A and B are shown apart, each in its own frame.
Chain A
Amino acid sequence: MTQYRGLDKPKGRSFFLFWKAMFVAAMLALVAFFWVASSSVEYIWRWNRVPQYFWVNEAADVRAEAEGDVTIIDRQGNEQRVVVRDASGEEHTHLLPGEGKVLVSSGDFAYRGDVLGRYQMNRPGILLEGLWVTLEVSVLAIIGGIVIGVVTGLCRISINPMLRWGAIAYIEIIRGSPLLVQIFLWYFVVGTLINALLEHVGLGGISPLWYGVMALALFTGAYVAEIVRAGIQSVHRGQMEAARSLGMSYAQAMRKVILPQAFRRIMPPLAGQFISLIKDSSLLGVIAIRELTKATREVVTTSLQPFELWIVCAVLYLVLTFTLSLFVQYLERRAIR
């Protein structure tokens, strides 16, 4: 809904032109300020060093696995094959990509560990890996948060005292303590206990990533629960009465009539909550999850380029949050009713 403009004197075209120009001017002034500020501390910008942390292109060697004569060098489809036959007559096959360079020729003698060929290898850099971890953790925590939030929200309005009080206790405890402390509790207390138990019964431990996801999902769930409750209560009670008067059960009415309407209304606050969650995932670095912020911190300590890298880090978070924001706006427009 756009703002109702009929209440005040109508504004002319020049009013909007002037203030648009003012906005652009303010933005330019901000950029100029950073420019002057960074020049005054004599910081040397090296943007050309940033891409290597996104995408690594480096030489990789293929080394002999055994000692013996190089017997065959040929192409097999997309790959090149180098076969080394050892003293006992056993053949060891080495493969390298088609565009790689073979550095030995047939009949050469190769010692174990000799370089047989070399090729350029591409792999994602540490920042891209960090971005991926952030995305993965956020998506998992959002899904968990929605499930926990809807269930808790429904418990919150239940007439069953155990469900209701349980929901209230959960919400108040989670909302009342810092996320950082919760992450520590999850990893160092709960995590230690659970991993010790799992070890006791002969199973492997759970990785820190999952404790991080659990901490974030439970944290978000408490807020989502309150949003869901408000959404449900904002649906007119006549809707529930109409559904029940047709013979539908409470669960049927909730699922088919109340929740679909509630979800349309709570879309904007939910989006805000999930954007918060993406940003809060930056705290997971403290339990050794190398998400975007921790990755950036590591790169900064090795590259000594804090200005560029922290700006890049912020932009990457913006890309994630803005995409989510656009996605929710799209959903809202589709479900306009």
Chain B
Amino acid sequence: MINATNVHKFFYTPDKLHALRGVSLSVAPAEVVVIIGPSGSGKSTFLRCLNRLEYADDGAIRIEGRDILDPDCEINEVRAEVGMVFQSFNLFPHLTVLENLTLAQTTVRKRGKAEAEKKGMELLRKVGIAEKHNVYPDQLSGGQQQRVAIARALAMDPKAMLFDEPTSALDPEMVGEVLDVMKNLAREGMTMVVVTHEMGFAREVADRVVFMDQGSILEVGSPDKFFTAPEHERTKLFLSQIL
């Protein structure tokens, strides 16, 4: 499904920063991979490379066999198949909740308005805010906004979903409602790559946990093994700091 090999990424801000130092990761269909690590470890950068919001400088990234680092790649077609959820929601503030869900359906998927709205309402019911379909995003709480953002990505019928710290900007009491939506999604067999600090979620839902530090993957393992018997010293230190 998702195949990244030896991905390198540099930032020039203005000093040269080697943000990803040869990251390789394969994600199978219906698999849930959770990436954890300290801030600045490159986990978000890696996730953003997977749908080319950041253009990786070296290596290969294949989504369903399509090489997205090929300049001739129809990246918009690939992105339509890979949903993304952001830390800061990034809902479109000038559109109602339902319009947020229908915009890409009508412009990218070329669906009719009625079909798009039907699909949109279906997904809003699924994430539990169908009654708010006519309000604007700034009238919703953070948790509700993030659930709308998830529904917006799902409206494209993506084959995989990328989550970039989806609960980090939320008040603590709203984290649960968003994680519940994500758990349901995982249970339904969605392929997911999740960058998060929610260890409970990782332990409960992940098929594999990936630990990144300083631009490299240090350790990959099943949640059981990862949280109870980490191999790497750096992993142990990190886990002792956050648990």
Asked if A252 meets B107 with Cβ closer than 8 Å, knowing A238-B90, A247-B79, the reply is yes
Q: Tell me the A217-274 residues at the B interface (CB within 8 Å).
A: 236, 238-239, 241-249, 252, 256-257, 260-261, 264
Of the candidates B76, B86, B94, B156, which one forms a contact with A242 in the assembled complex, judged by CB atoms under 8 Å apart? B86
| Distance, CA A242 to CA B86, complexed state (A) | 8
B residues contacting the other copy or chain, number (CB 8 A): 27
Minimum CB–CB distance from A235 to chain B (whole Å) comes to 10
A337 interfacial by beta-carbon distance below 8 Å: yes
Asked if A246 meets B79 with Cβ closer than 8 Å, knowing A241-B86, A252-B107, the reply is yes
A residues contacting the other copy or chain, number (CB 8 A): 19
Of the candidates B79, B91, B93, which one forms a contact with A245 in the assembled complex, judged by CB atoms under 8 Å apart? B79
Q: Closest chain A residue to B78 by CB distance? A: A247
Chain B residues near A244 (CB, 8 Å)? Answer: 53, 76, 79
Chain A residues near B76 (CB, 8 Å)? Answer: 244, 247-249
B80 interfacial by beta-carbon distance below 8 Å: yes
In the complex, 15 of the A-B residue pairs with CB atoms within 8 angstroms, ordered by the A residue number, are A241-B90, A242-B149, A244-B79, A245-B53, A245-B79, A246-B104, A246-B156, A247-B76, A247-B79, A247-B104, A247-B156, A248-B108, A252-B108, A257-B103, A261-B93
13 additional A-B pairs beyond A244-B79, A245-B51, A245-B83, beta carbons within 8 Å, are A236-B90, A238-B90, A239-B90, A241-B86, A246-B83, A247-B76, A247-B108, A247-B156, A252-B107, A261-B92, A261-B93, A264-B94, A337-B136
B152 interfacial by beta-carbon distance below 8 Å: yes
Which chain B residues have a beta carbon within 8 Å of chain A's beta carbons?
Answer: 51, 53, 76-77, 79-84, 86, 88, 90-94, 103-104, 107-108, 136, 138, 149, 152-153, 156
| Distance, CA A242 to CA B53, complexed state (A) | 10
| Distance, CA A245 to CA B85, complexed state (A) | 9
Chain A residues near B156 (CB, 8 Å)? Answer: 246-247
Chain B residues near A256 (CB, 8 Å)? Answer: 103, 107
| Distance, CA A247 to CA B149, complexed state (A) | 15
Minimum CB–CB distance from B110 to chain A (whole Å) comes to 11
Chain A residues near B84 (CB, 8 Å)? Answer: 242, 245
Minimum CB–CB distance from A329 to chain B (whole Å) comes to 19
Chain A residues near B82 (CB, 8 Å)? Answer: 245
Minimum CB–CB distance from B216 to chain A (whole Å) comes to 25
Question: Is there contact, CB below 8 Å, between B79 and A257?
Answer: no
